[in-house]
Amino acid sequence: MSKRYFINNLDSPLGQEFYSQLVKEETDEGVHMATYTIDDPNKMPPKGFKKILKRYKPKLSRKKMLEECDVYVYDVASATQTDLDFVCDIFRNSKTTLEEQKVLILVSSVLTWSAMPDKVKPKVEKKPDEEQEGEQQEQQEQQQKKDEPDADENQEPKDDENQDQEQEQQQIQQQPINEVPEVIEYVPWEENDYKLRSASAQYSQLKEWEDMVLSLQKENLKVIVVCAGLIYGKGELLFQKYFKKAWLQQPYKLSYQPDGNNKVPTVHITDLVKMIVKVSESIPESNYIFAVDNTQDRTQKAIIQGIATGVGSGWIEQNDDFFKDFTPEEMDCFRLHLDCKPSQMFIGNEETPSDFEWHCEKGIAVNAKKILQEFTTIHKLRPIKIIMESKAENMRFQDILTMISDHYRIPVINQEQIFKDAQDPNYVFPSEIQEDFNEYWPTIQEYIDSQAPAQLSEQLKIYYKVIKWRLSQNDCQNRGFILQNFPNHFEEADFIFYPNKQKLKMKKKPKKKPVVTEEEQKPPQEPAVDENGDPIEQEQPEDQQQDEPQQEEAQEEEQQEEEQQEDEQEGGPKPEDFFPESYIVIKPLGKTDNFEYNRKLINFFSERNLDAYFIDPRKKTNHDTFEDLRIYIERNGRPYNYLQNEKELIVLYFNLQRIKDLTIKYTRKQSIQIWKEITKVKKDKRQDLVTKYTKYIEEQEQELQQVKQFPFRNYLMDFVVPVLNEGLVEVAHILPDDPVEFLAEYLYKRSFNVDNE
């Protein structure tokens, strides 16, 4: 960079990216200047910068800026009205004379176009020559109509019927023709249309700042407004919440605004800084530049789908609850609709191609993986990949698994879960192995149930490919996983965690010959002959078909040999990205200490610098076991991963330990007091129960005394004899096989209604 830059607010996101671009140059002394958002007199200028100017020294700042800087960069996202007034006053001052070319760049936003409708394609007007030709044709037609009556005088008169038909045709021709509605075509807005731009009320100040800077006119001063799209990249600013939700897959599906068809201009922050440098080095004629990427599909729905596919689960939906934690400014950005054309200075055309070096030319959807890499690097995110093994599974082992999974937000995966996910419609299963998977699934199921080593076959090739596919999904690649009691032996570990592309390559199935119908059968061609009439020998197509597989096999062998040579040169084959970083063996929770370890599997990982960690949880609580495993898992550093703060974990641990100590040190006196309170409560309950039963017995005795006082004969005549007579009548009518049992059942049923009667 041959220019000397002044960056307003170097500690802003744009200023930080500008600094990373400027320090790439190897300079012995600092040549650039800047300010910070808050003045700090003790802060030294960073590498490449000569001086940090202070706002409380305006005269010195004005002098230094004019004498020692060529390009002045102000960003509306971090600047204030005072900052812009200060720089405008410098160049408005009549005493200020610019001996060298100066460039003032205001980095604005596409929100200054937020109130603009779609641009309608202008109609193409007819040229004057075409209008004259049309008038001449009309005059010739009128002259022909005048000459027609003279020619008709020499003809014989027509019949009345013919005259009526001609009149009807003339009336039809004279009827007005319904006009076809014109089709409205829309075209993108161009940077030359900036005088027509209109902003909504909440962003009108940004437009006023643009107009204020554009109104500056001074000799040797070039004012340029760089209208930037919505900025993304380097940890994310506007799209940070989207990337966080997609990385965590919470919720599982990302959401978009009402219909998602609004066009949203975007630009990577690295490309934006490069554009500013390009504009300052090669000053354009226009004072207004669109700094947006060259995305093919700018719709909001396509952008969100790109984030979901490259970072999250791959699924999107329309859900208003998704935007509860979004600010109104963020909502306005996602609702923005502006179809604008990138500047020719950056994309060029066929006649004048551009030499601009893009970082993310095709936008978020195409470069989602690259943006994710920047996002994880800046936020210190990395996957936690664990293998946990325990021969004796029980509820406590599952509790420990759940605690680790919930803390690190990683899925627990076993063999059954992998193949359930393969059949889950939420996952996009690879089509190249779908048919083979459906064919070999019963055999794969038998192998999973047996858990015994087996020789590599076509079925196991599909088995390993499915496992590799599941471990390469975004949730495992981003956050990690816990493999529960898997792999079972070192052969599985080798095929899963190392490429082995040639070994896992499927044999080609013979292609089915197409069925040829009688209509499609063609008569045999006559053999070709030479000049003497002798037949010419032709190569048979079957020989060619036999040669093709041999050539393919030879090419595959050559590729395999080349890969083996590369691996030998590099010191051995490289593992897959999902190779585990922690191998935990939990001893059984029974009383016995005898435990048969999987020695071959332990040695396999030990040879690859991954030693197993053995833990005995029998004399520990679940929380103590979790803390031991957490320290082991984070032995190489604790990732950010949106985890619970380590200080909160320490407070939680001390609270649990305090409760434990208080329980152990609880005094006998307090225990006796608690026992007395519990005994008193039980005694009160028993006394209440005795009182209740005593009262019930007294009521029953009173009822019995009343019955005894009533004459027994009268009681029988009033209540028993009528019912007995009715029962005997029923016996006489029905004539049951067992009259006594029938009568007893009848009297028993009527006994419930005696009180009511």
pLDDT in tens, 386-415: 999 887 667 788 889 999 999 999 999 988
Q: Residue 157 — very low, low, confident or very high, per pLDDT cuts 50/70/90?
A: very low
Q: Is residue 153 very low, low, confident or very high in pLDDT (cuts 50, 70, 90)?
A: very low
Q: Name the more confident of 367 and 665.
A: 367
Lowest mean pLDDT among 322-326, 425-429, 578-582, 701-705: 425-429
The sheet with strand 102-109 has its strands ordered as: 49-52, 32-34, 5-7, 71-75, 102-109, 221-228, 288-291
Q: Which residues contact 242 (CB under 8 A, 6 or more apart)?
A: 236, 254, 304, 307
| pLDDT for 628 | 92
Q: Give the separation between CA 50 and CA 32, rounded to whole angstroms.
A: 6
What's the confidence (pLDDT) of residue 402?
Answer: 92
Q: In the block, which residue shows the tokens 């599985």?
A: 492
pLDDT band for position 115 (50/70/90)?
very high
Task: Dump pLDDT digits (tens) for 643-658.
Answer: 888 788 788 777 777 7
Q: What pLDDT is stored for residue 590 in this prediction?
A: 58
Cβ burial of 151 (10 Å; 0-12, 13-18, 19+) is exposed
Least confident of 275-279, 649-653, 660-664, 681-685: 660-664
Count of Cβ atoms closer than 10 Å to residue 648 Cβ = 10
45-79 tens-digit pLDDT: 888 888 889 888 888 888 888 888 999 999 999 99
Residue 182 or 178, more confident: 182
pLDDT at 568 over 50: no
Which residues are paired to 613 by β-bridges?
584
Q: Determine what percent of the chain is predicted with pLDDT higher than 90.
A: 36
Average pLDDT, the chain: 81
Collect all residues with Cβ–Cβ distance below 8 Å to 87 and sequence separation of at least 6: 8, 65, 72, 74, 104
- What pLDDT does residue 444 have? 86
Taking residues 537-558, what's their average pLDDT? 54
pLDDT of residue 198: 93
Which of the two residues, 416 and 285, has the higher pLDDT score?
285
**CA-to-CA separations, 322 to 233, 319, 357, 522, 641, in angstroms, rounded:** 22, 6, 36, 64, 21
Residue 583 confidence (pLDDT): 92
pLDDT of residue 416: 83
What phi, psi does 134 have (nearest 5°)?
Answer: -65, -40
Asked whether the predicted pLDDT for residue 519 surpasses 80, the reply is no
162 has a pLDDT exceeding 70: no
Stronger pLDDT, 535 or 122, i.e. the higher one: 122
Q: Which pLDDT value is given to residue 182?
A: 67
Could you give the percent of the chain with pLDDT greater than 70? 79
Does residue 364 have a pLDDT over 50? yes
Q: How confident is the model at residue 509 (pLDDT cuts 50, 70, 90)?
A: low
Q: So what's the pLDDT on residue 708?
A: 73
* Least-confidence region, from 187-191, 246-250, 543-547: 543-547
Q: Which residue has the higher pLDDT, 623 or 671?
A: 623
CA distance 363 to 705: 98
Which pLDDT score is estimated for 512? 46
Task: Pick the range with the lowest mean pLDDT from 318-322, 378-382, 511-515, 596-600.
Answer: 511-515
Given this model, what pLDDT does residue 657 score?
75
User: Per the structure block, which two tokens stand in for 615?
Assistant: 């833990």
pLDDT of residue 139: 60
* Sign of the dihedral through C-alpha 33, 38, 41, 47: negative
What is the mean pLDDT of the segment spanning 533-561?
A: 54
Set out the domains of the chain in order of their start, with CATH numbers: 5-113+187-376 (3.40.50.720), 384-502+574-643 (3.40.50.300), 715-752 (1.20.890)
| pLDDT grade for 455, boundaries at 50, 70 and 90 | confident
Both tokens assigned to 681: 């409560």
Tokens standing for 19? 């600094």
Of 432 and 364, the one with more pLDDT: 364
Q: What is the pLDDT averaged over residues 693-698?
A: 90
Which of these ranges, 22-31, 270-279, 649-658, has the smallest mean pLDDT?
Answer: 22-31
Report for 482-496, 516-530, 556-570: range of highest mean pLDDT = 482-496
pTM: 0.73
Phi then psi for 484, rounded to 5 degrees? -90, 115
Alpha helices in 483-621 (DSSP H): 490-497, 541-569, 599-606
Query: What is the mean pLDDT of the segment spanning 506-516?
Result: 53
Tokens of 485: 């009691």
Confidence of residue 116 (pLDDT cuts 50, 70, 90): very high
Residues 6 or more apart whose CB falls under 8 angstroms from that of 142 comprise none
623 pLDDT exceeds 90? no
Give the residue from 507, 509, 504, 508 showing the smallest Cα distance to 468: 504
Pick from 406, 258, 245, 364: which is nearest to 315 by CA?
A: 245
> What's residue 751's pLDDT?
80
Cβ atoms of residues 362 and 268 within 8 Å: no
The one-letter amino acid at 214: L
Tokens of 504: 């896992």
Q: What is the pLDDT at residue 72?
A: 94
| Confidence category of residue 435, pLDDT binned at 50, 70, 90 | confident
Q: Which amino acid is at 539?
A: E
